[in-house]
Every structure is written in structure tokens, then in C-alpha cells.
Amino acid sequence: IWVYAEVYEMDLSSLQPGLGVKISGGSLGGEVLGGKVASVDRVINPTTRTAKVRIQVPNAKAALRPEAY
């Protein structure tokens, strides 16, 4: 499954494809999921000063749902 994250411009230099990441959220009940950065968008949103990062996460337990936050 793909997870899209908005990352601040100043933090983008530390991200690259293949980097391992951890994802947590209220709907995961304290569970932390591991994934890998698949791509980092090169375009910065001028309003939020962020870029989208696409993360590939195995979803064997169906813990993540489409359009969830």
C-alpha cells in the first residue's frame, strides 16, 4: 500500500528512496508500521512549503485503509 506524507522543505534533504521509515497514527492503536521511501516529489507546495513523499508499506493485516488520515 502507498502512504503519502507531506514533508517540510527543510527536512527533504534527509530523505531518499529506499530509506526505512516508521509510521504511527491514532487509528493504528499504538502499532508502528515499517515502510520504505519510494519517491520524493521535487515540487514544493508554495503555500505549505512541503513536498509529497510516497512510502511503500506492507499492509498484510489491513491496518491501513484508503483515504485514511
**What per-residue confidence (pLDDT) applies to 15?**
94
- As given in the structure block, the three cell numbers for residue 57 are 508499506
The SS3 call for residue 3 is: strand
Q: Is the pLDDT of residue 22 over 90?
A: yes
Task: List, for residues 30-59, the tens digit of each pLDDT value.
Answer: 888 899 999 999 999 999 999 999 999 987
CA–CA gap between residue 52 and residue 59 (Å, rounded)? 20
Q: What is the pLDDT of residue 9?
A: 94
DSSP-assigned states of every residue in 4-61: EEEEEGGGGGG--TT-EEEE--GGGTT--EEEEEEEE-SPPBTTTTEEEEEEE---TT
pLDDT of residue 67: 72
